Chains A and B, each alone.
Chain A
Amino acid sequence: MSAPSLELIGFSKRFGTLAALDDVSVKIQAGAFHALLGENGAGKSTLVKCAMGYYGADAGEILLNGRQITIDHPRQAHELGLGMVYQHFTLVPNMTVLENFVLSREHVPAVIDWASERKLLKEFFSTTPFAVPLDTPVADLAAGQKQKGEILRQLYLKRNLLILDEPTSVLTPDEADEVLTTLKKLTQDKSLTIVVITHKFREVNAFCDTVTVLRRGKLVGTRPTAELDNDAMAEMMVGQREARAVVERDQRDPGEPVLQVEALSVADNVGQLAVEDLSLEVRAGEIVGVAGVSGNGQRELVETLAGQRHARSGGMKVHGERYTATRPEMIRHKIACLPEEPLRNACVAEMSVAENMALRSFDQPPSSPDGIRLRRAPMRDMARRLIEAYRVKTPGPDAAIKGLSGGNVQRAVLARELSSEGDLLIVANPCFGLDFAAVAEIRARIVQARNRGAAVLLVSEDLDEILQLSDRIVVMFDGKLALQTPGASADVGSIGRAMAGH
């Protein structure tokens, strides 16, 4: 296997009126570890999907090892040795690793001899830098192992140019380093060329030799990483724009405990304990950040607090009273909740923006004078006020909320939840998939809530977000708290190790 070079020349792609790509050219050297950097919507994914044949580009030429080729279908790309690893997993969860690998091969025999396939794959794994258990259903693998499996499958299929789309977003820093280090070695041996889509500067600096920056569908430039520092990269990425808004936080001491979680145990979808004997306290006027790699019980914890899931044992208290996440309790204690994927977890997608914004208060005056009849006009008025105050981009209060972009759904839900001036705010991954401007604004709103005295529980997979916002940081690993530390004196190294279970 020898690493190929790839050149994309003059790629353009329009979706309707939006120019997703506008005359972008990139040259990727043989054996390069090439980063593709850019904000959400900069066109990184569109570019590689055009190259892989998922989209037909409006214009553009591909040179592989200097020879012009055409790729109209992903299968053609695969035959040429191009492979892609996605942010989300593509291994089939209900099948074992072995079944997944054999099935993805070009020619599968009519009757499969599992003994010999297992032997062949074991031999293959002895030549690869890492291995995954063969007979485990993929659903039972940890995120890091799944991602390793995805990469191993590409190598197994003899792909020698890999495009990785944010491959480390679900991994701990240690896992990410392990995977990227071994891939780096393969590129240095000139047996693999790698293009990695990322927004993590740390990984670009540590592993990539060249970086191409895209902004709003246009090429900003391709430079050796050695010539760039973080500030220069950030400037290429976001352009001339005011720097990230520093969140203003008042100096204040935390007040009375608002939320107390006591020895809580919660089962996950397959009946196993996802949260185990967890105790936690959030006081008025403080943000407690829950760090951790996804899948360590954070989702189940938030679902329990939001009333979407029942606890198996243990309990919760709000303002010292027993709390079981019923609607009357949430209203009485002024609890606000911004769960992850708000379109799915906190909205009715088919309903209008105004109706969604009224979900907490539709059966109370003024939206309903008696709890039976509904009045549209006050709902719409309130929605208009919130749309303006939180700058939700929507055609109007009567538009269906599913038509809004992710950031605007997030803003709409945050507007609804914060408008009641809650005492307890539960937030999960509030900035996932949003661009810089939206991120800064939503973080500022969360800190504002804290400044006025609300207790905030912030669950996030983004460690930077946790570090930036939290007064106190806890790390969740395998359903338990692995570490508790004050935010001001937090040591990133020990947090990272706790996230990885050390």
Chain B
Amino acid sequence: MDDTSLGIWGVPLAMLAGAIRVSTPFIFVSIGECLTERSGRINLGLEGTLVMGAMSAYGVALMSGSPWLGVLVAAMVGLLLGALHAGICQLPRVNDIATGIGLMLFGTGLAFFLGKPFIQPKAPNLGAIDLGWWSSIPQVRQALQVNYLFVIGIILAFALAWALKNTRWGLIVRLAGESVDAALAIGASVNRVRLIATSIGGAFAGIGGAFLSLYYPGSWNEGLSSGQGLMAVALVIFARWDPVRCLWASLLFGAAGAISPALQSVGITQGYYLFSAAPYVLTLALMIATCSPERSLRGAPGELGAVK
């Protein structure tokens, strides 16, 4: 492969490729968190769910030989962790922030403990759709290798946006997030709505984890996630609790994460670690830019962040 043949054009191309590859876990986690937060609950434990999903998907794929079975199991594990978070938060005088941090540590710790045997072996990967068949340039072909989960994530983002607006279920989720009183007044069980929303959100995060271990980077180790689950939670705020905007924000973060390898591929090696920090810097910058002590965020669910 001739890396320099594209010259400086290799950078935006690599960032596009990165946006497609790196963004997928962001998409799943942020959409899951978006759903959870729209129901009025914060789940900071999604980082733990992501890592647990990655580990269990890898383990199952390794033992069964089927990566898709791994994805399914990761979703189930995520569902259970979400349900656990929701169940604990329903207890009186429980704070969902503290519970979330607890579950984040629990999830990562458990995954490292159970995942020890899977660090060396190689599990089968999830396949990809080759959208670059028309091009003769290898970089383009490589960049347009699109994983099925990426496509599913895009569909999910639009489907969730549609459901929140057009279905009874979606409206009740929003109502639970906006006003507990109003939800009770129409006879909806706020706890049940949040249990379901948090569980589904957990399942999405689990699938995001499966992508990490089964496609990109495509192996299981303890440094796999490096905080992507937490960044995805921050991303939901930046996206103003809108699933489709979560999708765009995830792509932006994916592209930022690809800056550093892209620059390296065209021979710019100075400041490699500095550029590696781009997504984290972006997170911070966005939070500072969008938060203000004098403005409340538009679109923030009314019941969110209420200290109980």
* Residue positions of A touching B, CB distance < 8 A: 74-75, 90, 92-95, 99, 102-104, 108-112, 114, 267-271, 309-310
Query: In this complex, which of A92, A99, A310 has the most chain B Cβ atoms within 10 angstroms of its Cβ?
Result: A92
| A114 to B301 CA separation, bound complex (whole angstroms) | 22
Contact of A93 among B172, B178, B181 (CB under 8 A): B178
Beyond A74-B185, A75-B187, is A270–B298 a contact (Cβ under 8 Å)? yes
Which 10 residue pairs are nearest across A and B when measured between Cβ atoms? A269-B296, A108-B168, A92-B178, A271-B295, A103-B171, A92-B179, A110-B168, A111-B167, A94-B178, A92-B182
Residues of A close to B167: CB separation below 8 A: 110-112
CB distance from B70 to the nearest CB of A (A): 33
Q: Is B166 an interface residue (CB 8 A)?
A: yes
In chain A, what residue has the closest Cβ to B172?
A: A103
* Residue positions of B touching A, CB distance < 8 A: 166-169, 171-172, 174-175, 178-179, 181-182, 185-187, 292, 294-296, 298-299, 301-302
A108:B171 contact, CB within 8 angstroms: yes
| A103 to B292 CA separation, bound complex (whole angstroms) | 32
Query: How many pairs of residues, A versus B, come closer than 8 Å at their CB atoms?
Result: 58
B302:A93 contact, CB within 8 angstroms: yes
B294:A309 contact, CB within 8 angstroms: yes
A95:B294 contact, CB within 8 angstroms: no
A112:B166 contact, CB within 8 angstroms: yes
In chain A, what residue has the closest Cβ to B181?
A: A90
CB distance from B213 to the nearest CB of A (A): 36
A92:B294 contact, CB within 8 angstroms: no
CB distance from B277 to the nearest CB of A (A): 30
Given contacts A111-B167, A269-B296, 16 further A-B contacts (CB under 8 A): A75-B187, A90-B181, A90-B185, A94-B178, A94-B301, A95-B178, A99-B171, A103-B171, A103-B186, A104-B185, A108-B168, A112-B166, A112-B167, A267-B294, A270-B295, A270-B296
Beyond A103-B186, A267-B294, A310-B294, is A94–B168 a contact (Cβ under 8 Å)? no
The binding surface of chain A is classed by DSSP as loop
In chain A, what residue has the closest Cβ to B178?
A: A92
**What are 6 residue pairs bridging A and B, where the CB atoms are less than 8 Å apart in the complex?**
A103-B172, A103-B175, A108-B168, A111-B168, A112-B168, A269-B294
Residues of A close to B171: CB separation below 8 A: 95, 99, 102-103, 108, 112
Residues of B close to A92: CB separation below 8 A: 174-175, 178-179, 182, 302
| A110 to B172 CA separation, bound complex (whole angstroms) | 11
| A103 to B179 CA separation, bound complex (whole angstroms) | 13
Residues of A close to B172: CB separation below 8 A: 103
| A95 to B302 CA separation, bound complex (whole angstroms) | 11
B302:A110 contact, CB within 8 angstroms: no
Beyond A90-B185, A92-B178, A109-B168, is A267–B295 a contact (Cβ under 8 Å)? yes
In chain B, what residue has the closest Cβ to A309?
A: B294
| A270 to B299 CA separation, bound complex (whole angstroms) | 10
| A346 to B301 CA separation, bound complex (whole angstroms) | 27
A94:B302 contact, CB within 8 angstroms: yes
